[in-house]
Amino acid sequence: MKRVPGISVMAFLVFALSCSRPLATENFIRSSEAGAGGVYAYSLDLSDSLTSYSLYFYTRIDSPGQDSRNLPDIGLEADLFSPSGKRYTGRIRIPGESACRSGYFAKDYYFLYRSGFVPSEAGEWLMSVRVEDRDSLHGFRGLGIRLVRHPDNAG
């Protein structure tokens, strides 16, 4: 009986595992790279119809010396477009208390927007977000999203 060398099995396992989709994806857009009118545009891969998802927003505000107990809320206006072109709109408020890391020079916000949702249509969704009162958020660096797949929690 012929034995398969251990190195071949290891190479196969590395190749097979490297082909799987990541459980989370992130996209951060700097404020200087936002689109016309200060719009942040994202593409969301919601093509797996047998899974649920969670969506987070995050940002950083340069704020030397600002008291972390008095951080401003951040308002967002979001438009979400399904693969078939249906439009969904909403307002999102990221509370100042969601600042998860606060140093002297910067405050980081990390906010769970939706948890465990299953999209009404599988496919590539588009999301555009505008930060309300952006000019009043001195030191605003940009806006990021984090999309997490939960393959074991299908709806």
Verdict on whether the full-model pTM lies above 0.75: yes
How is the chain split into domains, by residue range? 22-150
Partners of 142 in the β-ladder:
30
Q: Is the pLDDT of residue 56 over 50?
A: yes
Partners of 29 in the β-ladder:
143
How far apart (Å, rounded) are the C-alpha atoms in residues 36 and 34?
7
From 3.40.50, 2.60.120, 1.10.1450, 2.60.40, which CATH number describes the 22-150 domain? 2.60.120
How far apart (Å, rounded) are the C-alpha atoms in residues 36 and 128?
11
Cα distances (Å, whole numbers) of residue 88 to 74, 80, 93, 125, 129: 20, 5, 17, 11, 12
pLDDT in tens, 22-51: 788 999 999 999 999 899 999 999 998 889
Q: What is the pLDDT of residue 153?
A: 58
CB-CB contact of 56 with 116 (8 Å):
no
